[in-house]
Amino acid sequence: MTQRPAIDPHHGDPQHGDPPHAPRGEPASPVHPLRIADARNAIRHVFVRDLVLSCCIGVHRHEHTAAQRVRINLDLAVRDNHDLGDDLANVVCYERITTAVRAIVARGHIKLVETLAEEIAAMCLADPRVRSARVRVEKLDVFPDVTSVGVEIERFPARG
């Protein structure tokens, strides 16, 4: 059996597509891999990067009494309406999305980062123009020697 070489935590493992990790206190890389707009399939990507909020989240007793920082990244694949008319009503608005994410976080204590990610994805997919939602939720202050821990999900609409 071949042993993999040790991975430098600040440089990732490029052989396996792992991105380098940011030093503690610096923003981590955004959702990976960053997808690009696809003209053949009429897709554009709307994204929110590094939204840091105070959130009551966690299963441990101390997490029920004190808020902690979470970083949220979103990447939405959106049906491209070629006739935008330079009108905000014709696009998926990232201001509306960030406002809705803040409202979800403000509702109260959430036990799991997975639950928060699912709720955010469901909110994004409620817009019929959104073809997929990739959501990353990271808790930033869990371990002193780790930049972040969390989950990344990708969801598609249930509509047929």
Task: Give the CATH number, domain containing residue 111.
Answer: 3.30.1130.10
Q: Rounded to 5 degrees, what angle do the CA atoms 78, 28, 49 make?
A: 30
Q: How many separate domains does the chain show?
A: 1
The conformation of residue 89, written as its DSSP 8-state character, comes to G
* CA 3 to mean position of chain CA atoms: 32
SS3 content of the chain, % helix, strand, coil (to 5): 25, 30, 50
Where would I find the beta strands (DSSP E) of the chain? 43-55, 68-79, 130-139, 149-155
What's the pLDDT tens digit per position in 64-74?
989 999 999 99
Residue 79 resides in a domain = yes
The phi and psi torsions of 28 (rounded to 5 degrees) equal -75, 170
| Residue 83: domain span | 40-155
pTM of the shown model: 0.75
Checking if the pLDDT of 6 tops 60, the result is no
Cβ atoms within 10 Å of 48's Cβ, excluding its own: 20
Checking if the pLDDT of 7 tops 60, the result is no
